A and B are shown apart, each in its own frame.
Chain A
Amino acid sequence: MSTASSTLMLRRKVTNAVFTGFCVVVTGLALIALAAILWTLISKGAGGFNLAVFTQATPAPHSKGGLANAIIGSVMMCTLGMILAVVIGVLAGTWLAEFGQNSRYGSVVRFLNDVLLSAPSILVGLFVYEMLVAPFHTFSALAGAVALALLAAPVITRTTEDVLALQPSLLRESGVGLGAPLALVIREILWRSARGGILTGALLAFARITGETAPLLFTALNNQFFELNPTKPMANLPVVIFQYALSPYDDWQRLAWVGALLIAITVLSVTIIARFVTREQNRS
């Protein structure tokens, strides 16, 4: 082998070693940073877990209390938001996949849905504020739920369209060939066979909205007390965490970490369930 080609070989080897080393090192660094965040969450949050967290309302500074009103508020708003989002998302996704797939209007809706999917959540909050808060002169849990629904619906629309598009056209043809109206074919055959995929989409959407803080700041606001009336401001975990974390009081900060851990556990377990559903679906 000539010297020129052996220097070339050496250079290629060195480049490759540097490249490989870089990839390994940054992966290590990324994993360390992310592990550090998780560790902080657990070490700061786990100690504060007790029954009072789930049974008592948010306290005044330097007094005992929990996060019960915030947890209930979050559950209510997320449930309401998810109901709205699933209805809109599944129907819109169905339209995109079954009726408007190649139309001009369909591609416009698809594009705008994709933009809405990644639009800054704080802008969705501002929008809902102008629509549902300012005209009624009161912050409300309902407005919060609508804001969350607007964030979840595009995710569900997207996954519904994707899974419906994956269903074999044989299914549609055999349904229609039996004389069933297309609406019946979609509801009874396509939705049924795409159930797992749609469920995954809904779970991912749910995981996305549980931790959303920004849009709730100007819609649901916060409430120090138990409130079950959806037309009133309502406590919710993200906003409570935000306020308590930035407060100068130790006990409030401790509760903020407990809340953050609670949200992280919820998000992580929902995501894991979603992956599990997908895997079951692929197996069958």
Chain B
Amino acid sequence: MSDASISHAPPPRRTVARGALLSTLFEGLCFSAATALLAALSGLLIALFIGGWPAIKKFGFSFITTVTWNPVTEVYGAAGPIVGTLITSGLALLMALPVAAGVAFFLTELCPAPLRRPIGTAVELLAGIPSIVYGMWGLFIFAPLFAKWVERPLMAAAPPGSIWETLTLGIPNGSGILAASIILAIMILPFMAATLRDLLMTVPPAVRESAYGLGSTTSEVVMKVTLPYVRRGAIGAVMLGLGRALGETMAVTFIIGNSHDFPTSLFASGSTIASTIANEFTEATSDVHLAALIALGLVLFVITFAVLALARLLLGHQGDKA
């Protein structure tokens, strides 16, 4: 290094001062943008609380424990939509998880190399299809088939007085709790499969190869080595999928049948928090009705926040990108 290339003359004062000022300004600008995001989420919570307050004050705890939802008499109990949300999301997760895991295992362990990329890409692309498309497909294509091949035979075969009969009670028109759960499952499937696959790809090849080298079969490698390796992240990915299902609006609204009754049968119409808000919000005429719908949003926020917070804690700062 030669001394000649380094200028010892001090740079002009003004430029330095201006540069420092601009830097401070720029940092302030970036800081405000970050704060804006924080404000958005806290504002969301506060706005839901203030908007829902009249209903919370009026109905108190019975808002989430009673089942009468009657805009005419202005009595609102949201147990129906709340339980509907939990049941449909739970069933959707139960159905989507084994399939998503199977797809992820197939893509990481079994798939012939030339097919790996196309199938992987297809799964990723399908994770991006807007949920309203899944909803329309559910209403126009899936519902009639479901009514004909699943609902009617199952209802006809139900022995009178059994649990089977109670669970399949309803109008066999293809929409209802179970149908909505299936559509939800199909919707969260590509997303969960893609996230799980990305996680399994992070397992170092040496770990996997040494397991194979010891003579493990594919199922042993997956269940005893690679899956435990990404366990935390995998649980986080499942929680993210659950979070999607809980808050999903359009795919469900089309096919759940929209009744506020407490769901007791798999084939009966029901509602979820999101579908109730979507259906009634713009038609709500009284202030109490509006407040009740916003309070319902607050309940959804609390449920999803708990699930997502747990997911993020487990997943760390990685995982889904969209």
Interface residue ranges, A against B (CB under 8 Å): 12-13, 15-16, 18-20, 22-27, 29-31, 33-34, 36-38, 40-41, 44, 87-92, 94-96, 98-100, 106, 108-124, 126-127, 129-131, 150, 153-155, 157-159, 179-184, 186-187, 204-205, 207-208, 210-214, 217-218, 221, 238, 241-242, 245-246, 253, 256-257, 260, 263-264, 267-268, 271-272, 275
Contact = CB atoms under 8 A, between A and B. Distances in A.
A26 B102 contact: yes
Interface in B210-262: 217-220, 222-223, 240, 243-244, 246-250, 254
A3 B252 CA distance: 55
A116 B41 contact: yes
Interface residues of B, number: 95
A204 B25 CA distance: 30
A109 B34 contact: yes
Contact of B322 (A112, A204, A272): A204
Contact of B130 (A126, A217, A267): A267
A34 B36 CA distance: 38
Interface of B, helix, strand, loop or mixed by DSSP: helix
A120 B246 contact: yes
5 residue pairs, one from A and one from B, having the closest CB atoms: A211-B130, A120-B247, A91-B33, A95-B30, A19-B219
A282 B110 CA distance: 27
A33 B186 contact: yes
B38 A122 contact: no
A211 B132 contact: yes
B136 A108 contact: no
Given A95-B27, A118-B320, A221 B282 contact: yes
A115 B309 contact: yes
A112 B141 CA distance: 39
Given A23-B103, A24-B106, 7 more contacts: A88-B33, A91-B34, A95-B27, A95-B33, A100-B31, A123-B297, A214-B278
A207 B129 CA distance: 9
Q: Which of B19, B100, B119 gathers most chain A CB within 10 Å?
A: B19
B33 A92 contact: yes
Contacts of B136: 241, 245, 256-257, 260
Contacts of B282: 217-218, 221
A95 B41 CA distance: 18
Contacts of B196: none
21 contacts: A26-B102, A26-B103, A27-B102, A30-B123, A30-B193, A34-B123, A34-B126, A34-B186, A37-B129, A92-B33, A92-B36, A95-B27, A95-B30, A99-B31, A109-B34, A115-B309, A120-B274, A122-B297, A184-B23, A211-B131, A213-B249
Given A29-B99, A40-B141, A116-B41, A12 B217 contact: yes
B128 A271 contact: yes
Nearest to B11: A179
A18 B129 CA distance: 32
B321 to A, nearest CB: 6
B77 interface: no
Interface in B268-298: 274, 277-278, 281-282, 294, 297
A246 B254 contact: yes
A211 B248 CA distance: 13
A126 B281 CA distance: 9
Contacts of B312: 111, 114-115
Nearest to B98: A26
Contact of B249 (A95, A120, A155): A120
B22 interface: yes
A22 B311 CA distance: 27
Contacts of B119: 27, 31
A30 B19 CA distance: 57
A245 B254 contact: yes
B189 interface: yes
Contact of A34 (B43, B110, B190, B244): B190
Given A16-B219, A30-B103, A91-B29, A238 B34 contact: no
Interface in B127-147: 128-137, 139-141
A37 B23 contact: no
A135 to B, nearest CB: 11
Contacts of A272: 125
Contact of A23 (B42, B106, B132, B244): B106
A200 B299 CA distance: 34
Nearest to B305: A115
A177 to B, nearest CB: 11
B40 A116 contact: yes
A162 B40 CA distance: 21
Interface in B181-214: 186, 189-190, 193
B44 A263 contact: no
Nearest to A268: B125
B164 interface: no
A246 B63 CA distance: 30
Contact of A116 (B29, B37, B103, B249): B37
B163 interface: no
Interface in B34-52: 34-38, 40-44, 47-48, 50-51
A138 B102 CA distance: 49
A37 B129 CA distance: 10
Contacts of B141: 36, 40
A219 to B, nearest CB: 10
Interface in B51-91: 51
